[in-house]
Structure 1
Amino acid sequence: VLSFDAYFEEEVPDKNQELYRIRHCKIYFYLEDDTIQVIEPLVKNSGIPQGTIVRRHRIPLPPPHEDQFYTIDHFNINTEVIFYARRYKIIDCDQFTKNFLRKMGVRLNTPASRPDDPYTKERQKVLDSMNPLRPYERIDTLKQFLEHDGQVLRFFCVWDDPESMFHDPRELVLHYYLSDDTIDIKEILPVNSGRDAVPLFLRRDKLPKYAPTGLYQPGTITSRTVLNVLGNLVGNKGRYILDNRKTGAVHQEFYKDSDLKIGAVINVWGRKIMLCDCDQFTKEYYRTKYGIEDFTPVPYKAPPPTKPEKTFPPYTGFGSEEDSLCSCMGLLLKPPQKDFKKFMEKDRNGMESNILRFVAKFITDSPIDKDRKFIISYFLSDDTISVFEHIQQNTGILGGKFLERGRIKKPGQELFKSEPSEYFKAQDLFVGARICFHGHNFLLVDADEYTFNYMEKHANEFSMANIGVILKKLKDIAEPRSREIRQVFAAADPEHSKVIEYDPFRNLIVSITDEAFSEHEIITLGRYYGVRDEYEMDLHFLLAVAQEQLKKNSFENFEQLSAVLIYNDREKCGVLPGEVCRTICKSFKLPLADDNLQALLTMCEDDHKQVEYKKFVDGLNWRQNPIPAFQTIKVPLKNEDDRSGQPPSLPVKGIKYLPLLDDLFGEEE
C-alpha cells in the first residue's frame, strides 16, 4: 500500500470568521487492484464529520477521460489529483512509497510545505490566552505505573550500627520501585546471629532525604492546596478554590533513582546506609538511562573464616568402616548410602550378567595347594568379590565356596585409622595380575569370554584391554628396532602364510618388551589381530536352539513381531536391513543371545544383504513350525592342564602379524 500526505481546500460561505478551510488527509493506493482510499485524521472538536472521505474503490479520471482509471503513474509528490471534482494536493509520502516509486523509475519531486488552517490557528491563540477560573491540577501517575510496573532496582547495602554492642556491620538489601518511586529495605540475617527476624527493615514508602524533620500537623502535607473556603450555599454544598501557586505548602524532597549509585551514602531516617553493589538489571538500567559504565562494587563483607577441617576418630573395629563413619556424621544414625544408580545400571539384565569371572591359582610352593583352581567373580553392581574353588576328585580338598561375597580391602593398610580404606576395583583384576585376598595370594591365569568382551567394550575404563593404549606402548618400545622385529616375525612364519600361532606370538611379544606387558595385554593383541575359529552352523540347528530357548521363556508374540516388521517395510518388498530387524527384536525382548540372534539374521539374508523377515519369524515360531528334538553338540572343553601354564588357550587359530606390524611401523615399502 502506497501512502501519500495530501490536503484540499474547502470553501466556507456561511461564516465571517473563515472564508476557506484546509483539511489534511491521507491517500492510500492499493497496488493489488489499483484501488484508492482517502481518509481524514480526526481532529478534536472540529465540528465536522471526519474519517473516510472516499471509500476504497477504483476512481475514474476527470473528464474528458472518465472512461479510464487512476494508476500508479498518476501519483507523485507535489502534484495534484482530482477525485470527483475535488482537487487534492499531494505534499509528501512515506519512506516505503518513495523507495517503491524510485524502483519503478519515477523521479520524485521536492516535497511541498504543509499549509496551516487559518481558523485553527486563530482558535488555538484564543485557547492559549485563556486561563481557567478554577485551575485544576492534574496529578497523573498512571503512565509511570504502566511503563515501569514490575521493574525494581536492587542495591546491596551495609549499615554500620554505632549503637550495637560489637559494632558489627549489618547487611541490607534496598529495593527501589520504578512504578511509584517507593523504597523498602530488608535485612539479611546470618545464621545464628541472635537477632530477631523481622519481615522488613523499612516498609515500602517514599523515602525523604532530610529525615527526621519533626512532626507536621494533620493536613499540612497534602497533594493540593486550598486557597479559600466559602460558606455553605444552597443544599449545604461547600465551594473551594485551588491555589495553583501552592502558597505555604510544605515541599519535601524524596530519593529518586538518580540519587542512588554505588558508593553513595543515603539517609534512612537518621541511619547512614552505604550502597555497595547492585544486580545486573540495575546496572543495565543505569547504563541505558544515565550512561554510567563504572559499577565497581565497594567491598563490605569480611573474608569468611576458614572452615575448620572435620576430623573423624579412627575405626573402632565394630561393623564396617562406612557404618562406623555414619555415626560420626550426625546425631541421628543412618545406614551408609548405597550407589543405587550404579546398582540399577550394572545389575543383571537379561543376557548381561555384569559379572567378571577369572580363573586363578595359588602363588605358593606347597605341592598340595599348587594345583588348586579358583573362580574369582567380580560383581560390577556393588564392587563385591566372591571366590569358589573348583572341585577336584581325590585331592582331599572339599572345594566349593572359598570366600563369601563382599568387598575386599587391599593389603598393607592400617586397620584402625581415620581415612577410608581402599578396596579392590574392577581395574585391579586382569589376566596376569597378582592379588592378595585376606592373606591368600592369587595369580589370575584366565578369564571367560564375557569378561574379555566387556573389558574390550569398555576400553576407556580398562587400560589392559584398550588396544589403542597397548599399541602406543608397544610402539614406544619397539619402534627403534622396527627392521629387526619385522625379520623376527618373518622368521617365525617359514611358510609365508602371514599367520603365526599364539604361543610363538606370545613369546615374541615377551622377548620384544622384556616382560613389560601383562598377560592380559598380550591376549588383547592376540584377540584383535587373531583369526578366530569359524564354526559352520547349520540353520536347522540354530533354529532348533532358538526355539528351545523361546519355549523355555514362554515367548509367543510372533504375530505382533511380524506386524511390526511389516509396518517398518515401507516398500512392502519383504526384506529389511539387518540392523532394523535386530533393533525390533531387542524391543520385543527376544530371549536370545546376541551372537545367536546375529547368526540367525545373517543366515536369513538374501543376495543384497537384506533380511527376509517372514522366513526369520516363521523359523522362530515354535507353535506353528516346531523343529523336532535334536541332540546337543558337545564342544570339547579346554584342557585343565593348560590352565596351569602361563599362556592361556584362546579360540583363535593364529595371529595375523602383518596388520600389527603395519599399525606399529607403517606399511613397508
Structure 2
Amino acid sequence: LASHFIMALPLMPGNSPNAQLKKERFHKSQHFIVYGGGMVLDLEKPGIGGEPLVGQKFLPKYSVYPKGEGSDLPSWVAFDKQTLRFDAYFKEPEYDAKVETHRIRKCKIFFYLEDDTIHVIEPSFKNSGLPQGTLIHRHRIPLPPPNDNQFYNVFHFNINKDIVFYSRTFTVTDCDLFTKNFLSKLGITLNEPATVPEDPYTNLRLQHEASMNPLRPYERLHPLKQFLENDGKTLRFYCLWDDTDNLFGDQRELVLHYYLADDTIEVIEVIPPNSGRVHVPKFLRRCKLPKVRANEELTTFFPLALLQIGAATDEFYKDCDLAIGKEINVFGRRVLLTDCDEFTKAYYRFKYGTEDFTPVQHKAPPAPKPPRLVPPYNGFGSEEDSLGNCHGLMPKPVHKDFKKFMEKDSNVLRFKARMMTTDPVHRGRVFLITYFLSDDSLSVFELEQKNSG
C-alpha cells in the first residue's frame, strides 16, 4: 500500500496548482432547449467557459486555412468581395419527352470566401423552355447525409469532381484563373478540366433551326435601322449652278445637305452681300431628289421641269451618286459638286475607299491687294501717332509699355541748359530739361530770374 500512496502538497497558498487560475471565462452554457413543445437536452453545447466536455469534439464552422499564411484579419475582412467561380453541369432526367431521355444543364457555382456561402446560377438560353436563372440562392449548404451537420468549405471543391447539393449531383468541369491560383496556394492539387457531354435537346433544336434557314440567306432590313444608325449625320457638298446661258443669268453658289437617316437632300443658296438678290431660306426644301431617266433629256427649261415634278419615279439620288466633279439634276438645273467638308471626306474614305478629294476651281483667284504706302513723317506729334492716321479714319491711341511705366515711373533725369545764341538778352536765360524714363518724353521749363523783364 505504501507504493501506491503519493503524498500531496500541503493546502497552502502557492503550493496548490489550480488549472483555473488563468481562466477568464466561467459562464455556463444552456444545455436545454425547447423543441416541439418540450425540453430537449442539447449534447453539442460546451462546458463551463466554453471548453469542450469529455469526449466532445467541435467541428469547424467555416473553412480552416493554413496558419501562418496571410494576415490576422477576420475572413469577412480579408476575403471581402473575393469569390471562387466554378463551371459545372448536372444531368436532369426527362420522362415526358419523345426523343431525349435526359438534359444536360450547364451552370456556374460561386463560392464566397468571406462566409463559405454558395450561389448556383444557370445562364439563360433562348427557347430552352426551362425556368433558368438562380437555382440555389446564396447560403451555406450542408453536406449530404450522414454528415449533414457540417457545411461545405473550400476544401470540398476541385475540378472534375462531383458535388451533391440537396440530392442533385453537380459535376465541376473547370474554374477561372483566380480560383486556380487560390486553390494552388492552399495546397490543393487540381485535376484536369472535364468536358461537358452533349445535350440531346440542344442538338435537336440546332438541327430544327438549321432546316428552317433558307438556301439563299438574305439580310433582314429593319425599317428603323438606317434611321437609328445615321440620325444626325449629314453630308455637305459645296456646289455651283452655272446659269450664264440664260438671260441675266450668272453663277450661283449652293450648299447641298444629304441626310443619311432617310436619303433626303436639301439645297441652300449662298447669297453674297450687296448682290441685289432677295434672301430666301432654302433653294430646295428637304426631300428625295429624283434622277433623270435614261430616255429623258436633261432640260433646264423651268416650266417643263416644274410639270415633271409629279412624274412617278423610283430612282432617287443616293450617297453613292454624289462625288466631287459630278453634275446632278436638281429639277432641271445642272448643279456641279465642287467641294465637301471633312466629315463627308471621312465618310467616303471609310465606306467607299475614296482618296481623291481635289476641289473643282470655279472662282478666279482673288486679286492681290495693292501695297499700302506710308507717307514720310512730317514732324508733328510722335511718329506712332502719325502712323495711326494712315491705318484708319479713326486712329487708336498708341499702346504704351505698361511694364516699363510701372518700373520707371518715378525715374526722372534733369538737366540744366542755356540757350546757344549771340544775343545778350537771351544768353542769360536758364532752362531745366526733364527726361521721363517711363515713356521717353521730354519737358523744357525756364527758370524764373529777377529783373529779367
TM-score bracket, normalised by the shorter chain, equals: 0.5 to 0.7
Q: For 1:369-408, list aligned pairs within 5 A.
A: 369=427, 372-378=430-436, 380=438, 385-393=442-450, 396=452
Partner of 1:252: 315
Deviation at 1:60, TM superposition (A): 4.8
Partner of 2:59: none
Instruction: Please tell me whether residue 304 in structure 1 is matched to residue 366 in structure 2.
Output: yes
Provide the rounded CA distance (Å) in 2 between the counterparts of 1:294 and 1:348.
57
Instruction: Please tell me whether residue 337 in structure 1 is matched to residue 396 in structure 2.
Output: yes
Partner of 2:152: 69
AA aligned to 2:443 is S
| Among candidates 171, 179, 184, match of residue 261 of structure 2 | 179
Q: 1:270 to 1:359 in 2, by over 3 A?
A: same
Q: 1:204 to 1:215 in 2, by over 3 A?
A: closer
| Among candidates 402, 406, 417, match of residue 361 of structure 1 | 417
Q: 1:154 to 1:11 in 2, by over 3 A?
A: same
Partner of 2:227: 145
* 8 Å contact from structure 1 (residues 8, 24) kept in 2: yes
What SS class does the counterpart of residue 227 from structure 2 fall into?
Answer: helix
AA aligned to 2:431 is K
Deviation at 1:303, TM superposition (A): 1.1
Deviations 1:100-137 (A, max 9, x none): 63687587846746734527834983797599xxxxxx
Instruction: Please tell me whether residue 20 in structure 1 is matched to residue 20 in structure 2.
Output: no
* 8 Å contact from structure 1 (residues 59, 70) kept in 2: no
What SS class does the counterpart of residue 53 from structure 1 fall into?
Answer: strand
Q: 1:251 to 1:68 in 2, by over 3 A?
A: same
Q: 1:41 to 1:203 in 2, by over 3 A?
A: farther
AA aligned to 1:337 is K
Provide the rounded CA distance (Å) in 1 between the counterparts of 2:344 and 2:197.
45
Number of corresponding residues: 346
RMSD: 5.0
Q: 1:118 to 1:287 in 2, by over 3 A?
A: same
Q: For 1:603-622, list aligned pairs within 5 A.
A: none
AA aligned to 2:180 is L
Partner of 1:283: 345
* 8 Å contact from structure 1 (residues 375, 390) kept in 2: no
What SS class does the counterpart of residue 208 from structure 2 fall into?
Answer: helix
AA aligned to 2:256 is L
Provide the rounded CA distance (Å) in 1 between the counterparts of 2:126 and 2:152.
35
Q: For 1:501-516, list aligned pairs within 5 A.
A: none
Q: For 1:137-216, list aligned pairs within 5 A.
A: 140-161=222-243, 163=245, 169-210=251-292, 214=308
Provide the rounded CA distance (Å) in 2 between the counterparts of 1:107 and 1:262.
66
Instruction: Please tell me whether residue 101 in structure 1 is matched to residue 184 in structure 2.
Output: no
What SS class does the counterpart of residue 171 from structure 1 fall into?
Answer: strand
Deviations 1:387-439 (A, max 9, x none): 22233456x27xxxxxxxxxxxxxxxxxxxxxxxxxxxxxxxxxxxxxxxxxx
| Among candidates 40, 54, 65, match of residue 122 of structure 2 | 40
Provide the rounded CA distance (Å) in 2 between the counterparts of 1:253 and 1:80.
66
Deviations 1:347-382 (A, max 9, x none): 998x9846744425257354744772323354857x
AA aligned to 1:255 is K
Deviations 1:13-41 (A, max 9, x none): 23446533333434444455554322233
Q: 1:392 to 1:307 in 2, by over 3 A?
A: same
* Gap runs ≥5 in structure 2: 1-82, 215-219, 297-307
Deviations 1:270-304 (A, max 9, x none): 44444443333333444444555554444444311
Provide the rounded CA distance (Å) in 2 between the counterparts of 1:139 and 1:43.
25
* 8 Å contact from structure 1 (residues 60, 68) kept in 2: yes
What SS class does the counterpart of residue 101 from structure 1 fall into?
Answer: helix
Provide the rounded CA distance (Å) in 2 between the counterparts of 1:171 and 1:99.
66
Instruction: Please tell me whether residue 88 in structure 1 is matched to residue 167 in structure 2.
Output: no
Q: Tell me which structure has the larger Cα radius of gyration.
A: 2
Partner of 1:56: 138
Provide the rounded CA distance (Å) in 1 between the counterparts of 2:191 and 2:325.
58
TM-score (norm: length of structure 1): 0.41
Deviation at 1:255, TM superposition (A): 0.3
Provide the rounded CA distance (Å) in 1 between the counterparts of 2:117 and 2:400.
75
Provide the rounded CA distance (Å) in 1 between the counterparts of 2:355 and 2:129.
54
Deviations 1:493-537 (A, max 9, x none): xxxxxxxxxxxxxxxxxxxxxxxxxxxxxxxxxxxxxxxxxxxxx
* 8 Å contact from structure 2 (residues 419, 429) kept in 1: no
Q: 1:215 to 1:182 in 2, by over 3 A?
A: closer
Provide the rounded CA distance (Å) in 2 between the counterparts of 1:193 and 1:146.
41
Q: 1:348 to 1:276 in 2, by over 3 A?
A: closer
Q: 1:142 to 1:336 in 2, by over 3 A?
A: same
Provide the rounded CA distance (Å) in 1 between the counterparts of 2:133 and 2:310.
55
Provide the rounded CA distance (Å) in 2 between the counterparts of 1:328 and 1:348.
26
Deviations 1:69-96 (A, max 9, x none): 24388354x6654433323345566xxx
Q: 1:319 to 1:280 in 2, by over 3 A?
A: same
Q: For 1:230-249, list aligned pairs within 5 A.
A: none
Provide the identity percentage: 44
Q: 1:329 to 1:74 in 2, by over 3 A?
A: same
* Gap runs ≥5 in structure 1: 132-137, 221-249, 398-669
Provide the rounded CA distance (Å) in 1 between the counterparts of 2:404 and 2:125.
82
Instruction: Please tell me whether residue 10 in structure 1 is matched to residue 66 in structure 2.
Output: no
Partner of 2:208: 125
* 8 Å contact from structure 1 (residues 347, 354) kept in 2: no
Q: 1:197 to 1:348 in 2, by over 3 A?
A: same
AA aligned to 2:166 is Y
* 8 Å contact from structure 2 (residues 325, 338) kept in 1: yes
